[in-house]
Chains A and B, each alone.
Chain A
Amino acid sequence: MATVHTPPASADGPRARIQRLGGHLSGMVMPNIGAFIAWGVITALFIPSGWLPDKEFAELVDPMARFLLPVLIGYTGGGMVHGRRGALVGAVATMGVVAGADIPMFLGAMVAGPLAAYLMRLVDERTDGRVRPGFEMLVENFSAGLVGAATAMAGHAVVGPVMRTVTDRAADAVEWLVDRDVLPVASVLIEPAKVLFLNNAVNHGVLDPLAVQQSAEHGKSILFTLETNPGPGLGVLLAYLFFGPRRLRPSTPAAIVIQFFGGIHELYFPYILMKPRMVLATIAGGATGTAIFMMFGTGLVAPPAPGSIFAYLAQTPRGASNWVGVYTGMLASAAVSFTVGSALLGFGRFAGDDAADEPADGTEPDAVPPGEAPSGDLPSDGGAPGVTVPEEDAPGTSAPQPASY
């Protein structure tokens, strides 16, 4: 039973630490997704290649990407470190990073915002309780103002140029991968990382910042699709629906609806965690989708968040090849993932057996760094596909009911 067999809190295990770092990165972006979508809608509609080209409204596109979005990220990042005052100086410091830059400086904002807030916290800790009565407002306003001014200058002189170099290198690396047609290989890292709950970290912490920069330049980016394509997860869930353990089947259709239409990919993670080799299905599906997206030279305008088919429909740029590419890629990724997943499930030959060959409750050793999971997570029992090792008490095997609560 999950409530009894859980190991003592190893809160600083590598998995928890990587997750938490990722949580910090994605935590700066995710609360602001609404602004990203607003920018995406305006971009998709009004740029010259958009649905309703309009010179006036298109003037919004560039300032939103270069100023609004990074400042929101710096604000949120600062707030995570030191509340409202941290958010305030985080926003001011980010302004130093973005001023004069000709690309959206998301990575710079993710550094400058929290750093400025940390400095603000140090200052507040020093002045706390030492201000003469009646002078609190004066001290608070001016300490924030001076920290903001200093960090904005430091952001402009130091953080900006440094992060500009980092961003350029990262963009070069992505371009290198695209030019050599090896971007699909990214699925080997992304799909295992996703089911280890690094999905938001990978997508919003790493890919979004680079993707928005590409989209601001070219009106679309394939990087938005790498983690968010709902096809591979759909394929795995369909494989379970037709060939998975019978007792899991009743709840699978609801999981499909929530995953594919609601965009909450977490719903399919347990189906992979209980049979880790199933990650090969999503890797194959994800790589297929990316390869087809690349073939058509397609991408999305803004983050499809959450990764639902509806978000995709809203963020697909105008143009037949864009639409054909995105939805061919998505369908193909689902089909490949379904086929590989079904084969790994032995096409239902073991449907009556126990559901899991690994406990799905996270009791296995911590050290499964993203990227090593495909080999490291595979059963070492010489497990040919479909061979199940009975595992008593693994939650998820004990006859789940259809969603009823």
Chain B
Amino acid sequence: MMTSINGKDVRKLVIACDAGMGSSVMLAGQLRRSLRGQDVAVEHAAVDAIPGDADVVVCHARLADRARVGASGRVVVPFAMYLGDPALDRVVAAIRDGGDLRG
């Protein structure tokens, strides 16, 4: 059940964490900065309350199962490290330069 989306089609990128108050806010701020000028909204949310119009959801791999419940059919990109994870760089690159995101 693999979904994919072209980075250029992403209008809303949601970063999810357990409470939607801590690490997701931090990462959303960072990604918003590196995606400045792109036509994409970067938001944060609790992993059990992902907005229905999210195109791509980014969360820690340990929370990915929960994210997929609320974001079925959407691309969920898991990452392992909060700082400097290549998965996050790939999301930024795909949205900026085009390219498929899968998950």
Contact = CB atoms under 8 A, between A and B. Distances in A.
Interface string A245-263: 0000011001100100011
A3 B87 contact: yes
B79 A2 contact: yes
A1 B77 CA distance: 11
Interface string A9-34: 11101011001100100110011000
A100 interface: no
Interface residues of A, number: 53
B17 to A, nearest CB: 7
Contact of B60 (A3, A20, A255, A266): A266
Contacts of B64: 6, 9, 362
Nearest to B89: A405
A197 B18 contact: yes
Interface in A140-196: 196
Contact of B61 (A258, A266, A360): A360
Interface residue tally on B, bucketed by range:
35 or more
A207 interface: no
Given A274-B80, A362-B78, A306 B46 contact: no
A399 B87 CA distance: 11
A1 B90 CA distance: 11
Contacts, number: 146
Interface in B62-103: 62-66, 68-69, 72, 77-90, 92, 101-103
Given A23-B47, A197-B18, A199-B18, A400 B66 contact: no
A267 B81 CA distance: 8
B78 A3 contact: yes
Contacts of A27: 19, 46, 48
Given A11-B68, A270-B60, A405-B89, 19 more contacts: A2-B79, A3-B78, A13-B65, A23-B46, A23-B48, A26-B19, A27-B48, A197-B60, A200-B19, A251-B84, A255-B83, A263-B22, A361-B78, A362-B78, A395-B86, A396-B85, A399-B86, A405-B88, A405-B92
